[in-house]
Amino acid sequence: MKLVRFGETGQEKPGLVHSDGTVRDLSAVVRDIDGAALSEAGLSRLAWVDAEMLPIVPEGVRLGAPVARVGKLIAIGLNYADHAEEAGMQVPPEPVVFMKATTAICGPDDDVECPRGSEKLDWEVELAFVIGTRAKYVPLEAAMDHVAGYMVCNDISERGFQIERAGQWVKGKSHDTFAPLGPWLVTKDEVADPQALPLWLEVNGEPMQTGTTATMVYGVAYLVHYLSQFMTLEPGDVITTGTPPGVGMGMKPPRFLKVGDRIGLGIKGLGQQQQRVVQA
């Protein structure tokens, strides 16, 4: 299934993408696409829904982030060996874990805000996955049982705030609109191998990032296992898994986003995003 949330910001309704490409309204079936809907029981119930009988959502309606009420938005840094190299850093011996504020979450095509005082606004196309079953001290061989599905994330970053200001990365990762998600949440049964997905990003039509999740240092299964040793992962939690090379910070000279720029990105089978940079 491809699950979506549609409507104005703060008023999104649950939906799914029919095989004919139309968005269908799930409001009569489920309250929202949240942790409860993404549990094993919730997804089983949705799988039996006859999409033909659901109301068609008019074309052009805004899509919001595909998951509501995200409890934790966890990010993994330097998780592609070639990206670590362009950043001038060593491949980490363990996953680099940081948090993004959940208030950074927005729809896939919403405007991206350039924060006040920003001079180094950057892009990062990433594969994100969503937890469907509570995970605590999960063995590696059982890790994928806890994944509900996958989606595209643009891990927007303000490098000056992230690296040059005292403290942790979270300051450069958490401004409003710094986590566009979607357009869809694709359930794991439709993704044969999350470690074999091409991904790309362009700025103003110019290709910047092309890569594949095959070059991730720590894959989805390992990340579920690893993170569950340090914190309980709850249904609806989102983990975004790092980016391939081609970010603005790694260019020579560095190149950053400015107001008016347009970003396009996507992952094969998971859809595409389009954003415009505006001043906060």
The pairing of beta strand 238-240 with beta strand 73-77:
parallel
Q: pLDDT for 25-83, tens place per residue?
A: 999 999 999 999 999 999 999 999 999 999 999 999 999 999 999 999 999 998 998 77
Amino acid at 54: L
CA-nearest of 21, 43, 52, 249 to 146 is 43
Share of the chain above pLDDT 90, in %: 94
pLDDT score for 188: 97
- The angle subtended at Cα 155 by Cα 91 and Cα 261, nearest 5°, is 125
Q: What is the pLDDT of residue 185?
A: 98
Which residue has 């070059």 as its token pair?
215
pLDDT of 87 above 80: no
Q: Are strands 198-203 and 262-267 parallel, antiparallel or unpaired?
A: antiparallel
Residues 207-223 have pLDDT tens digits of 999 999 999 999 999 99
Tens digit of pLDDT for each residue in 99-135?
999 999 999 999 999 999 999 999 999 999 999 999 9
Q: What is the pLDDT of residues 11-22, one digit of tens each?
A: 999 999 999 999
The token pair at 4 is 């979506």
pTM, full prediction:
0.96
Token pair for 237:
């939690």
- What would you measure as the largest C-alpha separation in the chain, in angstroms? 55
Note the pLDDT of residue 166. Answer: 85
Q: Nearest to residue 97, comparing CAs of 228, 213, 193?
A: 228
Per-residue pLDDT of 174-183, as tens digits, reads 999 999 999 9
What pLDDT score was predicted for residue 266?
Answer: 98
Q: Take residue 233 and report the two structure tokens written for it.
A: 């992962």
Cβ atoms of 132 and 146 closer than 8 Å? yes
Residue 85: pLDDT over 80: no
Neighbours of 119 (CB within 10 A): 13
Q: Regarding beta strands 179-180 and 105-106, do their DSSP bridges make them parallel or antiparallel, or are they unpaired? A: parallel
Q: Which fold has domain 65-279?
A: Fumarylacetoacetate hydrolase; domain 2 (3.90.850)
As a whole number of angstroms, the distance between CA 125 and CA 264 comes to 9
Give me the sign of the Cα torsion angle 263, 71, 87, 255. Answer: positive
Q: Given a cut of 80, is residue 88 above it in pLDDT?
A: no
